Structure 1
Amino acid sequence: MVEEAKGTRPAEKVYSEPEIIAKLEKDLPHWRYENGWIRRKYKTHGWKSTLMVINTIGHLAEAAWHHPDLKASYAWVEVLLMNHAAKGVTDKDFDLAAKIESVVQWQPGQEAGSLEGTPQTDQRFAYIKYDN
């Protein structure tokens, strides 16, 4: 893949607050808009799970070449997305948020197939506090 020369890419659309709120309500209902960022807090069952979520988000962000800000504590990770280059929320933010959401909220045990997912009732193995 050939890199484009700096400044030759068309400017990305920066969404207005009402547009952002409408897109979140429609496509990412667990995300919210606050202080110029789209945000989502994932609750975990502890530090080990928190680190696994951070590493998952890190992998997705690096592969996408679009990097969120992260806040973390013992049992939660908060993802904050805003396109720094565009100085606002763009399609890159919505697309990465959707990818993060689909991977972090994936529950293999709820699908048909051989993957059973982590046992949520055994605290030694519980991972994410899923939304449903």
Structure 2
Amino acid sequence: MIAKSGFTLDANRKIIQCGKAQYEAYCKIHNEAKGLYGVPFLYFERLDALYGKIVATMENVKGFGETVVNLQNEIAKSKGKASCELTRLSFIGCEIVEAASVFAKAPDHMNMMLMLPENLRREFILKLLADDKRS
């Protein structure tokens, strides 16, 4: 969409800017864009990092909606892996809930935990939980 004339990305608010009539005309051709007017794309930078210039220019992409769904699926998979890993590391229920709360505030912490060597993961989570209690 942002590759089309008259569509721009507001980097501060993370929304696509265009006239309402222009957006509605675009949606008549591209159904996957319906419901996106004025909606912030909080993960646009991540999309761009994952898909490079393809997302930025919308070349060779089946649709922006499909790309967003793919990113949401990847995030859900990471959350599932993190939850399983916390259980495997012998954390109990309340600790898992607290860790999930930390991950919700700072998703990069979840990704970092999953990238660490297995022998450091428990220690990393314990430090996150301790830091979270102090703040």
Decide: shared fold, TM above 0.5: no
* Structure label with greater radius of gyration: 2
Superposition TM-score, scaled by structure 1 size: 0.29
Larger relative contact order (C-alpha < 8 A, sep ≥ 6)? 1
Larger helix percent = 2
Larger strand percent = 1
Superposition TM-score, scaled by structure 2 size: 0.29
